[in-house]
Amino acid sequence: MELRQLQYTIQIGLENNFSRAAEKLHVAQPSLSQQIAKLEKELGVKLFNRNTNAVELTHAGTVFVEKAHKVMDLIEQMKNEMEDISQTRKGKLIIGSLPITGSHILPRVLPIFQQNYPGIEIVLIEESSTNLEILTSQGQTDISLLSLPMQESSLTYYPVIDEEIILTVPPKHHLNLKHHGQKREIDIKDLKDEPFVILKKGQGFRQITIDLCEQAGFTPNIVFESSNIETIQSLVAAGMGIAFVPYMVTQTKWSHFTPIHFNLKHRPKRTLVIAHQKGRYLSKAAEAFIETMMDEMKI
């Protein structure tokens, strides 16, 4: 059974005449008659009673035309829905995000995206760097907000923003007292004897901290670990040690514990990216989200 045979049968049922139906369908009458005969043979029923004056649907023909109308309507609906999806009017987008990073970036991007594409359903998955890379490599997210370097070689990415890395210290730390609150740039090599508070394993920024210290010629003295970068700021403010943090985290408003921030010499940065599985088809919704993020983050 072919789709055109359904169209032919419906049109003949409307016209009650092969010639007029053939004209409306823009096909030759012999071809139309041949297709209906072929369909009747395949179905094992007679769809039309033919006489010299008119063509009438049989009972089987009436049932067939009724079902054919429903099939054609479903096909039309499917075409319309596919067009909606292709034009980014409908759909679903699964976005992965690092929790704290996402809390600073997504509020700038999501409202704009949903305003422009109200028919797109957003599903947000928040995980640690390691887990999020695995989920993304398995295709369980369409796109994910991550930071470089990534461990999963199966991922590709679009750079979003380069963010400066800041040194945070307790209010009574000797660096703050020495410079009397003046925000002089600090050389990382001068921090080799300092106690560090860093993120736990599985968090991408932990490796950034370790790499920066090793590039300066020492291994950081880790005295405390946390899974939350904002908790680390509070621990630093309470005097537990010092830490490197992304610039965006320094913009958090503090109520009780207020750390002091210094720029680092050479202004090291981390790169935030939108990543996805290599070779994975990017939907128009995903492409639109990436474009929105690029615009809002002013890359």
Averaged pLDDT, 109-119:
93
Whether residues 227 and 241 share a domain: the answer is: yes
Looking at 38, 58, 86, the residue that finishes a domain is: 86
Grade residue 176 by pLDDT with cuts at 50, 70 and 90: confident
CATH of the domain at 23: 1.10.10.10
Q: Are residues 140 and 69 in the same domain?
A: no
pLDDT score, position 216: 96
Whether 13 and 135 share a structural domain: no
Chain centroid to CA 55: 56
- Give the pLDDT score at 110: 95
Which tens digit of pLDDT belongs to each residue from 119-167?
899 999 999 999 999 999 988 899 999 999 899 999 999 999 999 999 9
Q: Which residue has the tokens 């599903």?
A: 123
Last residue in a domain, options 37, 62, 86: 86
| Residue range 224-240, pLDDT digits in tens | 999 999 899 999 999 99
- Percent of the chain at pLDDT exceeding 70: 96
- Check residue 63 and give its pLDDT: 94
Q: Is residue 178's pLDDT more than 60?
A: yes
Across 163-183, average pLDDT:
83
Give the per-residue pLDDT at 271.
94
pLDDT grade for 91, boundaries at 50, 70 and 90: confident
The band of 255, judged by pLDDT with boundaries at 50, 70 and 90, is low
Predicted pLDDT at 156: 95
Same domain, 205 and 82: no
Question: Nearest-CA neighbor of 203 among 154, 243, 252, 258?
Answer: 243
149 and 214 in a single domain? The answer is: no
Residues 146 and 293 in one domain: yes
pLDDT at 80: 74
Tens of pLDDT, residue by residue over 15-46, are 888 888 999 999 999 999 999 999 999 999 99
Q: Which domain holds residue 82?
A: 3-86
Min mean pLDDT across 180-189, 223-232, 252-261 is at: 252-261
- The CATH number of residue 206's host domain is 3.40.190.10
On average, the pLDDT of the chain sits at 90
* Confidence label for 92 from pLDDT (cuts 50, 70 and 90): confident
Tally of structural domains, the chain:
3
Instruction: Annotate 266-286 with b (16+ C-beta within 10 A) or e (fewer).
Output: eebbbebbbbbbeebeebbbb
Region of poorest pLDDT, from 99-103, 177-181, 234-238, 281-285: 177-181
| Torsion angle of C-alpha atoms 139, 286, 94, 143, degrees rounded to 10 | 50
Give the residue from 53, 86, 119 where a domain finishes: 86
User: Residue 26: left (phi > 0), alpha (psi -120 to 50), or beta?
Assistant: left
Residues 133-150: b if buried by 16+ CB within 10 A, e if exposed:
bebbbeeebbbbbbbeeb
According to the model, what pLDDT value does residue 28 have?
93
Query: Do 126 and 102 meet the contact criterion of CB atoms below 8 Å apart?
Result: yes
Least confident of 77-86, 100-109, 146-155, 168-177: 77-86
Residues 212 and 118 in one domain: no
